[in-house]
């Protein structure tokens, strides 16, 4: 059998998951010298871009500008998109193995980690990711409701998702109206009675994951005063020593900024955003009616592990926060895909440098690969997925050269098209998306917003004149 | 970024050896798996030492023949520095460089869960910086172009 990759017999690759990693991988496949590749990209939702659309905060439009480079990849005539097609529901791994030489899973980290404390499942205690997907208009999350009649909310975590949630809760309707936040979320937040928002970090200010621009942004909110507890933003000796030996100026700047927030006098803004450090929730308290009535925190102090990482340990001193709404943002993990080996320990697809491994033999499964957060876990910025995808694509090229690829019975674009249309008649193409994009932007222009998103499959079909 | 994100893409294979095994067997494992060090574990899978190719090279000088029959316990490094999955790569990279450690066993509740090399750390940091530069660049470009709405 001739090796695929030529004009007459292109290398056919299915990419499952239309987020940044999927696009980076497709781009790298198209750029391989001497290789002719055809890429079909699948996504569970009708629209592409993954977390750039459904995760990146609506008040961070600039970050979303990366999609222009994704559209360039999608403009390649050998690229196709099948939106609203879910692996394990509309098509199976077996189906794909019959139609492609290689499968690449780039499904991301779709669920959040739990805190593992009592009261976590009380009413008004949520995963931050659900709130994020909700305000970003993800079709699967739009029906959720959040009790924004509560006056105090706590967000557990100080990573960028936690900071996004804190900002969205603290912004004024006028600030939010300029974004592409989902319409229903804008209405709900307009009526919000939240006055105090707590961001809780288990380690000190020097170890907080948020970046300096993110911290700075918190100090510039239109109608929310930011503050911190002075003794919690003091540098301990271990942190100071770690920063000095690494001459870490960025972290020093972050700490300076946080100390400045702690000294700031309230300027009389309507809301307060309170940054707390060296505290861990130990229990979410019941208000007597099965909903969040407060949160018990333990104060932490830092210790150094063997490698010099500063980690928190509880002191036995407690502190109660009178909050009625809780969002946890303490980490994310991948969701297993039907028929794909999973590594439960790290919450990723079982893999070595992106080659999917058989759980029994620990040897690569021929023709199956992974990249992005579902390969290495949720770390880094959008661009970090580019070198990560490159590592996987390099493995794919090595395997292609050694003829370790699938030899599908029906290796044609037409056969796939028939299969997908039969299994999911509501499937969305890239042309459909480009049209929806135009319509969303158009709707936005009428109200002075970057776009007004379609948030249900029915609305999207109707907008396209389909049903 | 933590050690966990490095281990996530390294499969589940950790090549170990017992202290009573011979250096000959250790070398065979190093060659077979194309690696530079073996974690020495007790019967409860707790790491008690590490044996690197360098340990063997040093011992072989002046004792070319005897070295192969020696037990691993005779050459291994005993005062082991270990990582935990939650360790930050920044401090891990610093400590490995300062203490000249090329392979770091990773433990959880005393049990070995993986091993990372200084090369793994350097690659992860390089990828992180590359990713950040890339992300900053497209934001700069977005600043220069006229603002267009994006998803």
Residue holding tokens 């095994």?
A: B21
Is the dihedral angle over the CA atoms B63, B66, B69, B74 positive or is it negative? negative
pLDDT tens readout for residues B56-110: 998 888 777 789 999 999 999 998 999 999 999 999 999 999 999 999 999 998 8
pLDDT tops 90 at residue B149: no
Residue-range domain boundaries for chain B: 3-144
Do the Cβ atoms of A139 and A456 come closer than 8 Å?
yes
Report chain A residues whose CB lies below 8 A from the CB of B91: 242, 307-310
What is the spatial distance between Cα A123 and Cα A234, in angstroms, rounded to a whole number?
35
What is the spatial distance between Cα A153 and Cα A159, in angstroms, rounded to a whole number?
17
Do the Cβ atoms of B36 and B103 come closer than 8 Å?
yes
- The question of ipTM being above 0.85 is answered as yes
Query: Which DSSP string corresponds to A25-69?
Result: HHHHHHTSTT--EEEEEEESSSS-STHHHHTS-TT-HHHHTTHHH
Report chain B residues whose CB lies below 8 A from the CB of A380: 1, 127-128, 131
Among A385, A388, A437, whose Cβ lies nearest the Cβ of B151? A437
Report chain A residues whose CB lies below 8 A from the CB of B139: 62-63, 65
- B3-144 CATH fold: CBS-domain (3.10.580)
In this structure, the dihedral spanned by the alpha carbons of residues B4, B10, B12 and B13, taken in order and rounded to 10 degrees, is: -130
Six-digit token pair at A305? 């592990």
Report chain B residues whose CB lies below 8 A from the CB of A305: 83-84, 87
What is the spatial distance between Cα A82 and Cα A421, in angstroms, rounded to a whole number?
9
Residue-range domain boundaries for chain A: 11-110+334-428, 118-330
- pLDDT (tens, 9 = 90+) of chain A, 467 residues, equals 578 999 999 999 999 999 999 999 999 999 999 999 999 999 999 999 999 999 999 999 989 999 999 999 999 999 999 999 999 999 999 999 999 999 999 999 988 899 999 999 999 999 999 999 999 999 999 999 999 999 999 999 999 899 999 999 999 999 999 999 999 999 999 999 999 999 999 999 999 988 899 999 999 999 999 999 999 999 999 999 988 888 888 999 999 999 999 999 999 999 999 999 999 999 999 999 999 999 999 999 999 999 999 999 999 999 999 999 999 999 888 999 999 999 998 999 999 999 999 999 999 999 999 999 999 999 889 999 999 999 999 999 999 999 999 999 988 999 999 999 999 999 999 999 999 999 999 999 998 999 999 999 999 999 999 87
Alpha helices in A55-113 (DSSP H): 61-64, 67-74, 93-99
Note whether A49 contacts B130, CB cutoff 8 Å.
Answer: no
State which residue of chain B sits closest to A55, comparing Cα positions.
B151
* A331 touching chain B per CB within 8 A: no
Beta strand A224-228 with A271-276 is: parallel
> From the CA atom positions of chain B, what is the Rg in Å?
20
At the top level of CATH, which class does the domain A118-330 belong to? Answer: alpha beta
Note whether B8 contacts A352, CB cutoff 8 Å.
Answer: no
Six-digit token pair at B92? 């891990």
CATH 3.40.50.300 fits A11-110+334-428, yes or no: no
What is the spatial distance between Cα A314 and Cα A282, in angstroms, rounded to a whole number?
10
pLDDT tens readout for residues A431-463: 999 999 999 999 999 989 999 999 999 999 999
Among B13, B133, B138, whose Cβ lies nearest the Cβ of A65? B138
State which residue of chain B sits closest to A61, comparing Cα positions.
B150
Kindly tell me the burial class for residue B48, based on how many C-beta atoms sit within 10 Å of its own C-beta (0-12, 13-18, 19 or more).
middle
pLDDT tens readout for residues A32-59: 999 999 999 999 999 999 999 999 999 9
Six-digit token pair at B90? 């920044």
Is the dihedral angle over the CA atoms A413, A417, A423, A426 positive or is it negative? positive
Among A47, A357, A380, whose Cβ lies nearest the Cβ of B128? A380
């Amino acid at each position: 059998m001739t090796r695929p990759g030529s004009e007459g017999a292109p290398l056919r690759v299915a990419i499952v998951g239309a987020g940044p990693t999927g696009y980076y991988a497709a781009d790298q496949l198209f750029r391989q010298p001497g290789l002719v590749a055809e890429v079909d990209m699948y996504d569970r939702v009708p629209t592409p871009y993954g977390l750039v659309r459904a995760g990146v905060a609506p008040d961070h439009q600039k970050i979303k500008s990366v999609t222009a480079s994704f559209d360039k990849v999608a403009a390649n005539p050998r690229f196709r998109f099948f939106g609203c097609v879910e692996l394990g529901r509309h098509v199976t791994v077996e189906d794909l193995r019959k139609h492609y030489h290689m499968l690449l899973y780039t499904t991301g980290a779709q669920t959040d980690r739990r805190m593992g404390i009592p009261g976590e499942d009380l009413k008004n205690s949520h995963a931050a990711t659900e709130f994020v997907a909700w305000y970003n208009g993800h079709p699967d999350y739009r029906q959720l409701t959040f009790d924004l009649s509560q006056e105090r909310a706590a967000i557990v975590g100080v990573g960028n998702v936690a900071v996004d949630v804190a900002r969205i809760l603290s912004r004024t309707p006028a600030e939010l109206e300029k974004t592409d936040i989902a319409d229903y979320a804008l209405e709900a937040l307009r009526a919000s009675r939240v006055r105090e928002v707590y961001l809780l970090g288990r380690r000190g200010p020097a170890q907080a994951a948020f970046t300096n621009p993110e911290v700075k942004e918190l100090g510039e909110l239109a109608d929310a005063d930011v503050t911190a507890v002075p003794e919690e933003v003091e540098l301990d000796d271990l942190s100071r020593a770690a920063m000095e030996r690494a001459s870490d100026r960025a972290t020093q700047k972050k700490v300076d900024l946080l100390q400045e927030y702690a000294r700031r006098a309230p300027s009389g803004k309507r809301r307060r955003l309170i940054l707390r450090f060296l505290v861990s929730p130990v229990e979410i308290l019941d208000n007597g009616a099965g909903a969040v009535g407060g949160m018990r925190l333990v104060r932490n102090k830092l210790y150094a592990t063997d490698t010099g990482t500063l980690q928190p340990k509880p002191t036995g001193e407690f502190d109660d926060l009178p909050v009625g709404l809780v969002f946890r943002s303490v980490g994310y993990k991948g969701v297993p895909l039907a028929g794909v080996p999973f590594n439960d320990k790290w919450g990723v697809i079982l893999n070595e440098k992106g080659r999917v491994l058989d759980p029994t033999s620990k040897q690569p499964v021929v023709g199956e690969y992974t990249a992005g957060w579902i390969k290495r876990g949720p770390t880094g910025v959008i661009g970090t997925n580019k070198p990560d995808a490159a590592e996987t694509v390099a493995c794919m090229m090595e395997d292609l050269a050694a003829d370790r690829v699938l030899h599908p019975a029906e290796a044609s674009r037409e056969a796939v098209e028939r299969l997908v249309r039969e299994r999911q008649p509501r499937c969305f193409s890239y042309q459909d998306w480009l049209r929806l994009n135009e319509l969303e932007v158009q709707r936005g222009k009428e109200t002075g917003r970057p776009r007004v998103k379609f948030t249900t499959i029915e609305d999207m079909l109707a907008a396209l004149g389909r049903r | 970024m933590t050690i966990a994100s490095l281990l996530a893409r390294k499969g589940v294979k950790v090549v170990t050896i017992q202290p009573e095994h011979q250096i000959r067997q250790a070398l065979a494992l190093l060659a077979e798996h194309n690696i530079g060090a073996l974690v020495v574990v007790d019967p409860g899978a707790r790491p008690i030492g590490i044996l690197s190719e360098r340990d063997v090279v040093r011992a072989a000088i002046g004792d070319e023949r005897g070295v192969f029959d020696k037990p691993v316990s005779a050459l291994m490094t005993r005062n082991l520095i270990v990582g935990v999955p939650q360790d930050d790569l920044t401090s891990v990279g610093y400590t490995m460089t300062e203490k000249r450690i090329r392979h770091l066993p990773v433990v959880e509740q005393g049990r070995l869960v993986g091993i990372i090399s200084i090369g793994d750390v350097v690659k992860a940091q390089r990828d992180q910086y590359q990713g950040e530069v890339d992300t900053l660049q497209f934001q700069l470009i977005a600043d220069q172009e006229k603002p267009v709405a994006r998803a």
